[in-house]
Chain A
Amino acid sequence: MSYELLGITILWIFLFGYLLVASIDFGAGFFSYYSTISGKRHIIHRIIERYLSPVWEVTNVFLIFFIVGLVGFFPDAAYYYGTALLIPGSLATILLAIRGSYYAFSTYGSRDNRIYQFLYGASGLLIPAALSTVLAISEGGYITEQGGKVSFEFGKLFTHVYPYSVILLAIVSVLYISAMFLTYYAAKAQDEPALQVVRKYALFWSLPTILASLFVFYSIKGHNEQHFNNMVNNGWMFVMSFLFFLAAVWLVWRRRHYGIAFVAVMLQFGFAWFGYGKAHLPYLLYPYLTIHDNFTNPAMATALITVFVLGLLILIPSLFLLMRLFLFDANYVKGIKNDKGGKGGQGNSGATKA
């Protein structure tokens, strides 16, 4: 495997990690806010908070990791995307900033502040929309280079069909993935009322998700014929994705094996994500930038890959510890504190009184 391919594969895997954890995070924020206005907050809020509180910061790192890695391996990506994406990139940054800080303000500071909850719930749906436009842009047609000057045609984003299809898919997938995960988490916590609510969300968002996926297929054909043909050549991956979708929905429908159902969701998106990515190669930005253009120098590539492997040796056990403590620890998930005095951690200490 060449360094270029290894590099982009690593990055694509990390972006997939971000897709999963961020979807759960963004969707949960939205459901949390929605439950407030629909009067169901008391049912599902505790479940959501118990999962989100320890992990929200980690989610951010996946995205930073991808961006730093992309620029590190492919310095020209910084040049093209950096110049072109000033507006959408800044908007996404601002939304991420609002979401991250208002999550913390609302969780640790002012618990019942509706404005804070709204800011963090609403931004959670706008971020996937802003970030997914980058996927649309990578298909080409929005960035032009003339006389050494890169320019971005922002207006075209609103007149083409393709960006809409991607944004639509991003938003409904976020809600679907998140609801599927919360279903699993609520079942694990043996919280029957919460399970009923989030299970309905999961089933509700499954149909739009698959329809939006088909819509993306259809509009890619009109936008970038070459990419579409590559995707058809790798069609088995999308078929697998669809089969896992059916399995996940069927399991949740029959109210059993929620854990396996979520694994099926991961595989559903995994196959679609890597099928899409594989078909996109060798282009990073169609038609200007491929993974072979101005790849970083061999010394830096070796250094980055070495560091990556060493980093994983720390990262994987740490993530494992995090999951063991907050995802697979039955008592924590159920909200049973196993300490002496009954006074728990951060959550129900002094901050509650404030």
Chain B
Amino acid sequence: MATYDPVIFSRILTGLTLFVHIIYATIGVGVPLMIALAEWIGIKRNDTYYLLMARRWARGFTVTVAVGVVTGTAIGLQLSLLWPNFMRVGGQAIALPLFLETFAFFVEAIFLGIYLYTWDRFKNRMVHFMLLIPVAIGSSASAFFITTVNAFMNTPQGFDWVDGKMENIQPLLAMFNPAMPTKVSHVLVTAYVTSAFCLGAIAAFAMIRGRKHIYYKKALKLTMTAALVFALASAAIGDLSGKFLHEYQPEKLAAAEWHFETSDKAELILGGILTDENEVKFAIKIPFALSILAGGTPDTVVKGLNEVPEHLRPPLRASHYFFDMMVFIGIYLTVISLAYVIAHRRSRKTGKPVSRLLLWGVVLGAPLAIMAIESGWMFAEVGRQPWIIRGYMTVAEGATTSAHVDTMLWMFALLYALLTFTCVKVLIKMFKHNPAEDEIIARGIEGGHK
């Protein structure tokens, strides 16, 4: 980083902010759904353990929401501070979803505040449960709207490009662009998987530490069942995303798979290294798989990188490794959640506890799921280099010309380190000093049913 280049530093700072925000945002989207599931089951079965589960999750959730809100505020401001030229041009077309997102956020913020402070205020428990619906809808809706903005940057449409400006803008057409359906659904379901694994890992960890209370088993059963459903859904959506890329962003797919020659019966490449002469070595190659991923049949002709001018190619190594990591972890999460669901059924029949190894597998699933989110996101972003608005504006054209971006980068890096450190510390303290068993006794909950 010898010479100062605002473009590079703007990219790093935006990347850093999003890298941090995405963790809390994913939890912010997925956890309300899990809380809602737990509370709903608790009310329906009149099972106080599930109600306690919802309550404990909600308490931890509040702390992560705080960091999610402030890092979200940071990226909201940085869009204009670091990319003023992009906002000047693109702002014309993406203002609507950005505006809608703040409304969704508003609803979420209001109802989360109400939900957290009215646990025992209503005679009818369903009233309290209903307050969570706007929270869950609000958080998923803001993910929806903000993802449409990102989708627009990948597959822009709904305007005429006249002398470097957007004219005759159709806001809805810009929002409902080709990348939108796969992107939005992928973002949502993977957020649900990740959150389910994060919550499941807490319970699994407690069981590894020798806690035997039925509360933890119930928590694991709920989270792993949800994780399995959403993991299968994200695999199906991942397949659709491949077909989308084939049609609209072939260079991204080709970069992910180091696919140079345009051909049919294309092979899928796993792992391996790429030599400087663009030869693939040490990789596992699955014949026909790329063609099937792209078009559903082995005969599908997949466009190769050689058709893309070199200066318009995304970085090849980063794209491939991020893509592989995302896919591998996705498979791992599916297998583990399936294994747990089966093991749970078996242990119910035989009375033997679920093996420790599998519990460790669940615990490991949480950080891996977050890594998958990060690498999937980085693949998506790196894969559209060098464009900020694909086909219209490069990243360099959109960046600020301001001095001091480097200083700001260090300040924000320090801030995020501080926030994450304190957040983890506070969360550990909250749950370690107040285990579920203590709270069950303190609240006078005995047995699952009152």
Residue from the set A56, A94, A338 with the largest chain B CB neighbour count within 10 Å:
A94
Of the candidate stretches A155-163, A235-243, A279-287, A310-318, the one touching chain B is A310-318
A299: CB under 8 A from chain B?
Answer: yes
Query: Does the CB pair A81–B80 fall under 8 Å?
Result: yes
Query: Does the CB pair A322–B110 fall under 8 Å?
Result: yes
Residues of B contacting A85 with CB < 8 Å? 81
* A54, A75, A116, A303: the one within 8 Å of B87 (CB): A75
Residues of A contacting B430 with CB < 8 Å? 108-109, 350-351, 354
B277: CB under 8 A from chain A?
Answer: no
Residue from the set A67, A71, A307, A326 with the largest chain B CB neighbour count within 10 Å:
A71
Query: Does the CB pair B81–A86 fall under 8 Å?
Result: yes
Cα A110 to Cα B426 with chains together (Å): 7
Query: Does the CB pair A94–B73 fall under 8 Å?
Result: no
A residues 49-66 near B (Cβ < 8 Å) are: 53-58, 60-61, 63-65
* A78, A104, A299: the one within 8 Å of B66 (CB): A104
Of the candidate stretches B177-185, B279-287, B339-347, B404-412, the one touching chain A is B404-412
Query: Does the CB pair A307–B121 fall under 8 Å?
Result: no
- B79-106 toward A: CB 8 Å interface, digit per residue (1/0)? 1111111011101110110111111011
* A63, A79, A297, A345: the one within 8 Å of B167 (CB): A297
* B70, B95, B434: the one within 8 Å of A68 (CB): B95
Residues of A contacting B106 with CB < 8 Å? 58, 61, 65, 311, 315, 318
Q: Return B39 CB to nearest CB of chain A, in Å.
A: 14
Cα A344 to Cα B116 with chains together (Å): 11
Cα A54 to Cα B135 with chains together (Å): 14
B residues 146-205 near A (Cβ < 8 Å) are: 166-172
Q: A75-B92, A86-B400 are in contact. Are A57 and B83 (CB under 8 A)?
A: no
Residues of B contacting A71 with CB < 8 Å? 79-80, 87, 91, 95, 98
Query: Does the CB pair B405–A58 fall under 8 Å?
Result: no
Residues of B contacting A37 with CB < 8 Å? none
The number of residues on chain B lying at the interface, defined by a beta carbon within 8 Å of a beta carbon of chain A, is 84
Query: Does the CB pair A101–B422 fall under 8 Å?
Result: yes
Query: Does the CB pair A75–B91 fall under 8 Å?
Result: yes
The number of residues on chain A lying at the interface, defined by a beta carbon within 8 Å of a beta carbon of chain B, is 84
Main secondary structure of the interface of B (DSSP, over half): helix
Residues of A contacting B433 with CB < 8 Å? 353-354
Query: Does the CB pair B99–A68 fall under 8 Å?
Result: yes
Cα A330 to Cα B434 with chains together (Å): 32
Cα A294 to Cα B165 with chains together (Å): 11
Q: A82-B80, A339-B120 are in contact. Are A68 and B87 (CB under 8 A)?
A: no
Q: A304-B99, A343-B443 are in contact. Are A97 and B76 (CB under 8 A)?
A: no
Cα A145 to Cα B193 with chains together (Å): 49
Residue from the set B93, B102, B438 with the largest chain A CB neighbour count within 10 Å:
B102
Q: Return B411 CB to nearest CB of chain A, in Å.
A: 6
B248: CB under 8 A from chain A?
Answer: no
Q: Return B115 CB to nearest CB of chain A, in Å.
A: 9
A89: CB under 8 A from chain B?
Answer: yes
Query: Does the CB pair B434–A351 fall under 8 Å?
Result: yes
Residues of A contacting B66 with CB < 8 Å? 57, 100-101, 103-105
B306: CB under 8 A from chain A?
Answer: no
Query: Does the CB pair B113–A105 fall under 8 Å?
Result: no
Query: Does the CB pair A75–B88 fall under 8 Å?
Result: yes
Query: Does the CB pair A58–B73 fall under 8 Å?
Result: no
Cα A93 to Cα B99 with chains together (Å): 19
A76: CB under 8 A from chain B?
Answer: yes
Q: Return B124 CB to nearest CB of chain A, in Å.
A: 13
Across the interface, name the chain B residue whose C-beta is closest to A97.
Answer: B70
Query: Does the CB pair A60–B73 fall under 8 Å?
Result: yes
Residues of A contacting B429 with CB < 8 Å? 109-110, 354
Cα A334 to Cα B85 with chains together (Å): 52
Across the interface, name the chain B residue whose C-beta is closest to A318.
Answer: B110
* B56, B65, B92, B401: the one within 8 Å of A297 (CB): B92
Query: Does the CB pair B415–A98 fall under 8 Å?
Result: yes
Q: Return A6 CB to nearest CB of chain B, in Å.
A: 14
Cα A297 to Cα B173 with chains together (Å): 15
Query: Does the CB pair A109–B63 fall under 8 Å?
Result: yes
Query: Does the CB pair A64–B76 fall under 8 Å?
Result: yes
Residues of B contacting A296 with CB < 8 Å? 91-92, 95
Query: Does the CB pair B113–A350 fall under 8 Å?
Result: no
B55: CB under 8 A from chain A?
Answer: yes
Residues of A contacting B76 with CB < 8 Å? 64, 67-68
B46: CB under 8 A from chain A?
Answer: no
Residues of B contacting A82 with CB < 8 Å? 80-84, 87, 400
Across the interface, name the chain A residue whose C-beta is closest to B84.
Answer: A82
Residues of A contacting B58 with CB < 8 Å? 346
A149: CB under 8 A from chain B?
Answer: yes
Across the interface, name the chain B residue whose C-beta is closest to A69.
Answer: B99
Q: A104-B66, A318-B107, A353-B433 are in contact. Are A90 and B412 (CB under 8 A)?
A: yes
Residues of B contacting A338 with CB < 8 Å? 121
Residue from the set A65, A82, A345 with the largest chain B CB neighbour count within 10 Å:
A82
Query: Does the CB pair B63–A108 fall under 8 Å?
Result: yes
Query: Does the CB pair A68–B98 fall under 8 Å?
Result: yes
B8: CB under 8 A from chain A?
Answer: no
Query: Does the CB pair A58–B114 fall under 8 Å?
Result: no
* B100, B107, B401, B444: the one within 8 Å of A83 (CB): B401
Q: Return A247 CB to nearest CB of chain B, in Å.
A: 31
Residues of A contacting B105 with CB < 8 Å? 61, 64
A347: CB under 8 A from chain B?
Answer: yes
Query: Does the CB pair A108–B62 fall under 8 Å?
Result: yes
- A271-307 toward B: CB 8 Å interface, digit per residue (1/0)? 0000000000000000000000010110110011001
A-B contact pairs, 16 of them (CB 8 A): A57-B112, A58-B113, A64-B102, A71-B95, A75-B91, A82-B84, A85-B81, A93-B73, A94-B412, A109-B427, A294-B88, A297-B169, A304-B96, A315-B103, A318-B110, A341-B443
Residues of A within 8 A of B (CB): 53-58, 60-61, 63-65, 67-69, 71-73, 75-76, 78-87, 89-90, 92-94, 96-98, 100-105, 108-110, 116, 149-152, 294, 296-297, 299-300, 303-304, 307-308, 311, 314-315, 318-319, 321-322, 325-326, 337-341, 343-347, 349-351, 353-354
- 18 A-B pairs besides A53-B117, A64-B76, A300-B95 with CB distance below 8 A are A67-B80, A72-B98, A75-B91, A83-B401, A86-B81, A89-B81, A92-B77, A94-B412, A97-B415, A110-B426, A299-B170, A303-B96, A304-B99, A318-B111, A321-B114, A346-B119, A351-B434, A353-B433
